Structure 1
Amino acid sequence: MSSNVVFFFPGQGSQSKGMLADLIAVEAVVADTFAQASDVLAYDMVALVTEDADGKLDQTEYTQPALLTASTALHRLWTARGGANPAQVAGHSLGEYSALVAAGALDFSDAVQLVAFRGQAMSKAVPAGVGKMAAIIGLDDDKVVALCEQVSEDDSKVWAANFNCPGQLVVAGHAAATERLMDAAKEAGAKRALPLAVSAPSHTPLMQDAADAMAEKLSGITIDTPTCPVWSNARATTLTSAADIRDALVEQLVSPVRWTEIVQQLSGQGVNQAIEMGPGKVLAGLVRRIDKNISVASVQTSDLMNKVLGA
């Protein structure tokens, strides 16, 4: 594995009931990470991800700390097994917090509190039923952005929220405007326009109240200089100072995720190896559609991690 390897950390949508259950059972560093999160949040994180008896794993305020914990546990196991440190890190949306923990900029316990608060703030910012998100498949990004402007009205707007990969853009905004956008996209030739099972219109100006709440919350959190460059979703540039990190985490809530640009810039630097340091393979799929020159390996099981470590 090259020393130029980048770690990618997934966001919401990569969670699944039972994720990392096998590792929690046999790896002390993984079990300890979940126990640490349980202590911080005062609920059983292991039961949440392995049993999910009451269906909370897909609720934003629970999903976010669960994914952060899973990604951090895998990173700690990677390090315990002698894995090399990344040259750079990037996380998709929520994954930016996991990336900051891996880069030593955020303490894990602080990050767990932050993302739980972030999930609650996002849910409060826009009442249930008011907002909507949808994935538009098969149209150029510029066309979707233009359609957002075209269908938006003074009191009913929709914006580009996630530039995931060419031909896949997630939009978000008021429910009615998002539905108008889906219809317009289909008429314009989109292969699919799919509503997402997320009520909070993330990464849009409708999250301003959540951004204000996060700015206040972050003011009381210690942020250290990262040990390697951390890519900002909102800026598509790397963050290297605590002040930049604090500002970028607030911007992230009201600005689109510029994942396509981030991956293209990494490829332009000559990066050709990455590890998806979290459950699932969502980011591997996106990266493959952006630039096939970057190979993304999964380490979500013990065997997969050993295979990558031995490469």
Structure 2
Amino acid sequence: MNAYIFPGQGAQFVGMGLDLYEKYQVAQELFENANEILGFSITDIMFQGTPEDLKETKVTQPAIYLHSVIMSKVMGDQFRPDMVAGHSLGEFSALVANGTMNFDDGLTLVSKRALAMQKACEMNPSTMAAVLGLEDHIVEEICEETKGVVVAANYNCPGQLVISGDIAAIDLACEKLKEAGARRALVLPVGGAFHSPLMEPAREELAAAIENTTFGTPKCPIYQNVTTTAVTDPEEIKKNLIAQLTAPVKWTQSVKNMIIDGADTFIEVGPGKVLQGLVGKIDRDVKTMAVLLS
């Protein structure tokens, strides 16, 4: 069974999507449509902007969404998922690819999400840190006993967990984690504490937009970050998508459940190979690959 997986923020690179734009008419039309919806030329930034331009949250999130979704559209009949999942932002790409949302609505929500998250970051100076080489329960315990807001945010693969919270709490937690034996506890160059309670203002803003968007029945299940299990009910998908902003991304658990349910090949749709690497660390016996376009 084929599981199609969609990357999140951090997978961007200058020049992303240009090959699709130049080679496929459908890609060109969708990119031009995206420029209209967003009200600025995101293609200029994606194709020839600077890494700094591309790092802006209002650009990064729509750019990754566009690369992933347009790639799935270009695949045409080759795109035959038995199940899908997306890492954080990638969940929106997955929901368009499996037919739950249309292209325009997905892009509009991603843009609103990016702007709401940016606003929440400005309200509460905060950050995230990658923790390597410790078991999840040890990281969780240290987060719980650290003063301030600090929580487990991304369960990426065994031995790799990202924490999220206010700056002082993250710094203190990193010290404790190193003392507990972490191979690394490294503060990340991000704008804020994604997937933590500090994203509550963004969650409220996004909730209203999601509730007003039409969600249809998907053509295959999505394994959502919040529940980690197969979901096909549109109302449940909406609820989980709203909860995702303040809840952790349970990627390890989602991939394990997809494998239990029959996935033996994971195909990454979008920029980069980050998710293929994570899946390989979660289970060495499954096949991972990038999209091969004819």
TM class by shorter chain equals over 0.9
Q: Which runs of 4+ in 1 moved over 6 A?
A: none
For the pair 1:305 / 2:293, whether they are aligned, the reply is yes
Amino acid at match of 2:85: A
1:20 to 3, 17, 25: 17
Q: 1:196: how far off?
A: 1.1
Q: Indicate the residue corresponding to 1:60 in structure 2.
A: 57
Amino acid at match of 1:35: E
Q: 1:54: how far off?
A: 8.0
Q: Indicate the residue corresponding to 2:42 in structure 1.
A: 45
Structure 2: segments with no counterpart, 5+ residues: none
Q: Indicate the residue corresponding to 1:277 in structure 2.
A: 269
Q: 1:160: how far off?
A: 0.1
- Confirm or deny: 8 A CA contact 1:129 1:199 kept in the other structure: no
Q: Indicate the residue corresponding to 1:136 in structure 2.
A: 131
Q: Indicate the residue corresponding to 1:92 in structure 2.
A: 87
Amino acid at match of 1:50: F
- Confirm or deny: 8 A CA contact 2:72 2:79 kept in the other structure: no
2:232 to 220, 225, 240: 240
Deviations 1:77-132 (A, max 9, x none): 111xx304200000000000000001111111111111111011111113277101
Q: Secondary structure at the match of 2:185?
A: strand
For the pair 1:29 / 2:26, whether they are aligned, the reply is yes
Amino acid at match of 2:66: T
RMSD value, Cα: 1.4
- Report the Cα distance in structure 1 between the residues aligned to 2:124 and 2:183, rounded to whole angstroms: 26
Q: 1:167: how far off?
A: 0.4
- Report the Cα distance in structure 2 between the residues aligned to 1:262 and 1:33, rounded to whole angstroms: 30
Amino acid at match of 1:26: K
Deviations 1:177-217 (A, max 9, x none): 01111111111111111111112211111111111111111
2:218 to 216, 219, 226: 226
Amino acid at match of 1:16: F
Deviations 1:271-291 (A, max 9, x none): 111210111000000000001
1:173 to 150, 165, 184: 165
Q: 1:270: how far off?
A: 2.8
Q: Which segment drifts farther, 27-36 or 92-101?
A: 27-36
Q: Which segment drifts farther, 237-246 or 161-170?
A: 237-246
- Report the Cα distance in structure 2 between the residues aligned to 1:54 and 1:6, rounded to whole angstroms: 30
Q: Secondary structure at the match of 1:200?
A: coil
Structure 1: segments with no counterpart, 5+ residues: 307-311
Q: Indicate the residue corresponding to 1:76 in structure 2.
A: 73
- Report the Cα distance in structure 1 between the residues aligned to 2:248 and 2:143, rounded to whole angstroms: 13
Q: Indicate the residue corresponding to 2:140 in structure 1.
A: 145
Q: Indicate the residue corresponding to 2:5 in structure 1.
A: 8
- Confirm or deny: 8 A CA contact 2:105 2:213 kept in the other structure: yes
Q: Indicate the residue corresponding to 2:115 in structure 1.
A: 120
Q: 1:174: how far off?
A: 0.4
- Report the Cα distance in structure 2 between the residues aligned to 1:70 and 1:19, rounded to whole angstroms: 7
For the pair 1:195 / 2:187, whether they are aligned, the reply is yes
- Confirm or deny: 8 A CA contact 2:134 2:182 kept in the other structure: yes
TM-score, normalised with respect to structure 2:
0.96
Q: 1:72: how far off?
A: 0.7
Amino acid at match of 1:234: V
Q: Secondary structure at the match of 1:186?
A: helix
- Report the Cα distance in structure 2 between the residues aligned to 1:44 and 1:263, rounded to whole angstroms: 35
Q: Indicate the residue corresponding to 2:174 in structure 1.
A: 182
- Report the Cα distance in structure 2 between the residues aligned to 1:256 and 1:129, rounded to whole angstroms: 18
Amino acid at match of 2:64: L
Inter-CA distance 206–129: structure 2 relative to 1 (3 Å threshold): closer
Corresponding pairs, count: 294
Inter-CA distance 54–9: structure 2 relative to 1 (3 Å threshold): closer
- Report the Cα distance in structure 2 between the residues aligned to 1:26 and 1:84, rounded to whole angstroms: 18
1:106 to 101, 109, 112: 101
- Confirm or deny: 8 A CA contact 2:178 2:184 kept in the other structure: yes
- Report the Cα distance in structure 1 between the residues aligned to 2:199 and 2:243, rounded to whole angstroms: 10
Inter-CA distance 173–47: structure 2 relative to 1 (3 Å threshold): same
